[in-house]
Amino acid sequence: IVATLLLLSQVFNTRFLQDDYIVLGFLTDSTWIGWLNAVWQGQGGNLWPYGFHALLLTSSVHTVNTSLVAIWTLFVIAVVTLCNLTIFKWVLGEDIKMLGKLKIMTIFSISYLGFEGLFTPGLISAYSYHLASFSHLWPITLLIFALYQMSIASRNIFLAFVLGIFIGNSNIAESTAAIICFAIMFILRKKDFFFTKEFYAKSKNFYYAVFSGTIIGFTIIIISPGFWNRAENSVGLPSSASEFIRRFFRSFSSFSADLLTHPMFWLSFLVGVLISKPIKSFNDRANLINKIKLLLSLGLILFGSLTIGSTFAYVSWHQSSGLYQIFIPFSFLLGFYSKSLFNRNFSES
């Protein structure tokens, strides 16, 4: 009920943010292509987040019209919920059916409310601050969809390449995290390390297509003059080893505190415990544990990439949305597994 009321409130009270007005002001005197060129020269080569953001605002250049933005907010919420259900379906398999319809709605509530923190307005960063959402949330959501497509042996090479372009051309930290994940998958392609062999073997062509697209999208970012101009002029690169260490620990502590004080991280764990049912088969438990470990590994890679990336740039409240997309489902599944483990140990004793 709370999630539904907040959702309706956010959609029907859609307002433009500061970045929206900057784009609207530019589009008043220029074109969409002109905006992309300005981004390329002054911001960076991550063109699709800036381009899609500008497209959302085109109907509002000469009149106040937030309807398209409101509809897009609903679409993003649907995509995020679908992404979480995809994670749960992959990890739990057929056991997802035992959650029931009401509990599936609980997962939807977690998907929506999971972004709101004690110190960060996460709902805004995910569902209202669309440029930040395109840059930080969408690449992780699309990465999860790409991994799931690989797990079901998808052969749609075009889809894989497009997903790769969007993942790689989003933001430097998230793009780097995705490249690291795909590189590890290739290095360990013959080993049963958290299903690495399973992902690679089931859909090699899909893997190569999505990996290639990610590298191309990443390359477009770093070859743009705006990427280096912003790195030098916005905050400035670390000028010494001591400054690098200071900025690194600032970034590390910021993202760590954001996660550890995030109320939905702990509430999701509690919900997982409450709606869990014992998993009796040892093979099922082992499979569940390995999948949870894989999800944790993905989250830690992203955490490290964000920490290093913000060390060379800056830390901001809107950069954590991709982390929530991984760690909130992880917390839920960890609670789900913990009760199963407790019930097993209790029954054995």
Chain segment 157-173, per-residue pLDDT in tens: 999 999 999 999 999 99
Residues 32/54, Cβ–Cβ less than 8 Å: yes
Q: Model's pTM, two decimal places?
A: 0.87
Which of 37-46, 104-113, 179-188 is predicted least confidently? 104-113
**E-assigned strand segments in the chain:** none
Cα distances (angstroms) measured from residue 258 to each of 25, 251, 309 = 33, 11, 16
What would the mean pLDDT of 8-14 be, rounded to a whole number?
73
pLDDT digit string (tens) for 91-119? 877 667 767 666 677 777 777 777 777 66
Say which DSSP state 234 is in.
I
- Integer Cα distance of 345 and 343 in angstroms: 6
Q: Are 220 and 169 in contact (CB under 8 A)?
A: yes
Residue 344 has pLDDT above 90, yes or no: no
pLDDT of residue 283: 60
Structure tokens at 52: 């899609």
- DSSP letters, 201-238, are HH-HHHHHHHHHHHHHHHHHHHHSHHHHHHIIIII---
What pLDDT sits at residue 143?
A: 94
Q: How far apart, in whole angstroms, are the C-alpha atoms of residue 212 and residue 349?
A: 52
| Residue 328 clears pLDDT 80, i.e. is over it | yes
Whole-number pLDDT of residue 349: 46
Cα–Cα dist 264/253, whole Å: 19
pLDDT digits (tens, 9 = 90+) for 271-285: 888 877 666 555 666
Residue count (the chain): 349
Residues 6+ apart with CB under 8 A from 56: 68, 69, 72, 130
Q: Which pLDDT does position 215 carry in this prediction? A: 96
Asked if residues 114 and 53 have their Cβ atoms less than 8 Å apart, the reply is no
For 228, residues 6+ apart whose C-beta sits below 8 A from its C-beta are: none
